[in-house]
């Protein structure tokens, strides 16, 4: 039976190399190369008794192909170059690539030399940038991104909870999603592994794990309580233009100007005027790009599938009729595939009144949270609509209590309206007096004539611009 052994070759026994050895000595077999005998002697000082026979110290040149072969580079699992000389690091990594080492890493000692590593396709960490980034977060925001655990890419952060934080006083289960999760709470000298009902308190330090692209925005929302939509989903607004549509462009511009998106991409099935792009550039400083699609819907879907976007804007051409035959519409398919907000633009923005249908389900409450954020950012009135099949429904009072708590947490008034009858039909009637409706749905739900799934129909039958937000399983 073959025994797999973790083996790491380190070129450079300075402070970085020594710290790396200290952290990895229990699990890895280590080979350390350095020209300095003095530095190698210092390595012995950080080794525990159990690791002495697992660490091999070699005095020599880490850029010598012959030496690397003699010490067994062909059998190592990973390679790290961490000398104080970037030229030495680059050359050592090149040799490691020649020996087909599976994982190769390096330390960059100067911003001016980062491009060397990028040109060679070498994974690297800039020493100054990593240190400054960590200090910046600790000094300015109370948010700490550990650089020595996980992937070291900001996918793990620590946030200190203030009394004004929107999570203070509420259970952990209220604030998790597919893209981020609260995994630990430090309360004084205690570590708490939270359950969904664990309540977060001011002064707690919470550990969050998630997508590095959005995690810093989630941290900002948690600490400040300020709305960050749609950064919890992504930073880019994507507009699908099958053909020129003034109503679609109106809604697209509204979301671009009034939310936190920093990039805007147009995907068009036909050419449209440069003046349109210039109008968006004048409205807000940010990256604006345009791409002409040859395959139209099919090509657009291949571009967006599996990616994270802040918001996707689509035309109102799609009918709900396929849903009755168990066939999902294109906006629904895109919403399920991306788990990003999909807007069916009908040109009814800017928003003064926002409508969110609620049922108490996780997906409807997630839509309500987005509605709260947008209403705070645009100073809009927000209404939560519950459609019941009968009077004296006990769920009405439960929803009223839940909405009161959410309203208090976000410091936002929420109008609660109850209608009776068919949920889709009553929602459609109510939506006529609003500028934006936001509908939550569960990914993967089936729908047909005999067993329709209301959210899919609501987003199409809305009389105003509508937004569909899918949550995963």
Quote the pTM value: 0.62
Tell me the three state secondary structure of residue 273: coil
Whole-angstrom CA distances from 64 to 11, 33, 77, 98, 312 are 11, 11, 19, 12, 53
Q: How confident is the model at residue 455 (pLDDT cuts 50, 70, 90)?
A: very high
Pairing of strands 287-292, 29-34: unpaired
Average pLDDT over residues 173-199: 83
Average pLDDT over residues 198-209: 86
- C-beta separation of 303 from 338 below 8 A: no
Q: What is the distance between the alpha carbons of residues 337 and 290, in angstroms, rounded to a whole number?
A: 22
Q: What is the pLDDT of residue 86?
A: 93
Q: What is the pLDDT of residue 31?
A: 94
Among 138-152, 192-206, 274-288, where is mean pLDDT lowest? 138-152
Q: How confident is the model at residue 1 (pLDDT cuts 50, 70, 90)?
A: very low
Q: What is the pLDDT of residue 405?
A: 80
Q: How confident is the model at residue 141 (pLDDT cuts 50, 70, 90)?
A: low
* pLDDT at residue 274 is higher than 70: no
What angle is formed at CA 205 by the lines to CA 204 and CA 208, rounded to 5 degrees? 130
* pLDDT at residue 142 is higher than 90: no
Q: What is the distance between the alpha carbons of residues 357 and 268, in angstroms, rounded to a whole number?
A: 32
Strand partners, 354: 382, 436
Q: How confident is the model at residue 166 (pLDDT cuts 50, 70, 90)?
A: low
User: Which residues make Cβ contacts (< 8 Å) with residue 274, sequence separation at least 6?
Assistant: none
What angle is formed at CA 40 by the lines to CA 34 and CA 42, rounded to 5 degrees? 145
* pLDDT at residue 3 is higher than 50: no
Q: Which tens digit of pLDDT belongs to each residue from 87-124? A: 999 999 999 999 988 888 999 988 888 889 888 888 88
- C-beta separation of 109 from 87 below 8 A: no
Average pLDDT of the chain to the nearest whole number: 86
In whole angstroms, how large is the CA radius of gyration of the chain? 27
Q: Which tens digit of pLDDT belongs to each residue from 317-359? A: 999 999 999 999 999 999 999 889 999 999 999 999 999 999 9
Q: What is the pLDDT of residue 332?
A: 96
Q: How many CB atoms lie within 10 A of CB 118?
A: 12
% of residues, the chain, pLDDT over 90: 47
Q: What is the pLDDT of residue 146?
A: 57
* pLDDT at residue 2 is higher than 50: no
**Of 269, 277, 274, 270, which is closest to residue 249 (Cα–Cα)?**
277
Q: What is the distance between the alpha carbons of residues 221 and 202, in angstroms, rounded to a whole number?
A: 15
Edge-first strand listing for the sheet containing 156-160: 143-144, 156-160, 205-210, 180-187, 190-192
Burial letters 57-94, b for 16+ CB under 10 A, else e: bbeebbbeeeebeebebeebebbbbbbeebebbbbbbe
What angle is formed at CA 423 by the lines to CA 386 and CA 334, rounded to 5 degrees? 100
Tell me the three state secondary structure of residue 24: helix
Average pLDDT over residues 435-442: 96
Tell me the three state secondary structure of residue 151: coil
């Amino acid at each position: 039976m073959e025994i797999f052994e973790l083996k790491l070759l380190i070129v450079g026994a300075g402070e970085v190399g020594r710290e790396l050895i200290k952290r990895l000595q229990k699990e890895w077999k280590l080979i350390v190369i350095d020209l300095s005998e003095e530095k190698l002697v210092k390595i012995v000082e950080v080794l525990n008794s159990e690791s002495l026979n697992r660490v091999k110290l070699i005095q020599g040149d880490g850029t010598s192909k012959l030496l690397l072969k003699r010490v067994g580079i062909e059998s190592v699992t990973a390679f790290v170059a961490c000398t104080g000389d970037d030229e030495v690091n680059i050359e050592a990594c090149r040799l490691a690539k020649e020996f087909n080492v599976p994982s190769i890493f390096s330390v960059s000692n100067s911003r001016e030399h980062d491009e060397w590593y990028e040109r060679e396709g070498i994974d690297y960490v800039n020493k100054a940038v990593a240190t400054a980034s960590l200090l910046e977060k600790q000094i300015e925001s109370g948010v700490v991104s550990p650089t020595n655990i996980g992937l070291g890419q900001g996918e793990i952060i620590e946030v200190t909870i203030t009394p004004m934080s929107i999570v203070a006083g509420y259970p952990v289960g209220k604030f998790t999603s597919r893209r981020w999760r609260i995994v630990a709470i430090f309360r004084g000298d205690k570590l708490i592994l939270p359950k969904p009902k664990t309540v977060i308190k001011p002064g707690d330090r919470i550990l969050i794990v998630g997508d590095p692209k959005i995690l810093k925005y989630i941290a900002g929302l948690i600490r400040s309580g300020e709305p960050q939509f749609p950064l919890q989903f992504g930073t880019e607004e994507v507009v699908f233009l099958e053909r020129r549509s003034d109503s679609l462009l109106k809604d697209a511009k509204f979301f671009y100007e009034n939310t936190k998106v920093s990039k805007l991409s147009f995907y068009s099935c036909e050419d449209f005027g440069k003046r349109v792009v210039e109008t968006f550039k004048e409205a807000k400083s940010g990256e604006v790009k345009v791409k002409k699609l040859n395959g139209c819907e099919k090509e657009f879907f291949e571009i967006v599938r599996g990616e994270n976007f802040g918001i996707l804007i689509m035309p109102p051409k799609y009918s709900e009729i396929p849903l009755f035959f168990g066939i999902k519409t294109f906006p629904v398919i895109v919403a399920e595939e991306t788990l990003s907000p999909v807007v069916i633009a009908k040109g009814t923005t800017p928003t003064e009144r926002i409508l969110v249908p609620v049922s108490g389900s996780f997906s409807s409450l997630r839509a309500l949270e987005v509605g709260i954020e947008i209403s705070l950012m645009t100073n809009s009135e927000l209404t939560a609509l519950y459609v019941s099949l009968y009077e004296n429904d006990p769920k009405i009072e439960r929803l009223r209590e839940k909405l009161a708590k959410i309203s208090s947490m976000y410091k936002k008034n929420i109008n609660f309206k109850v209608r009776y009858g068919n949920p889709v039909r009553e929602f459609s009637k109510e939506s006529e007096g609003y500028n934006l409706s936001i509908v939550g749905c569960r990914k993967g739900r089936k729908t047909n004539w005999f067993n329709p799934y209301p959210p899919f129909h609501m987003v199409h039958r809305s009389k105003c611009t509508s937004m569909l937000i899918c949550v995963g399983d």
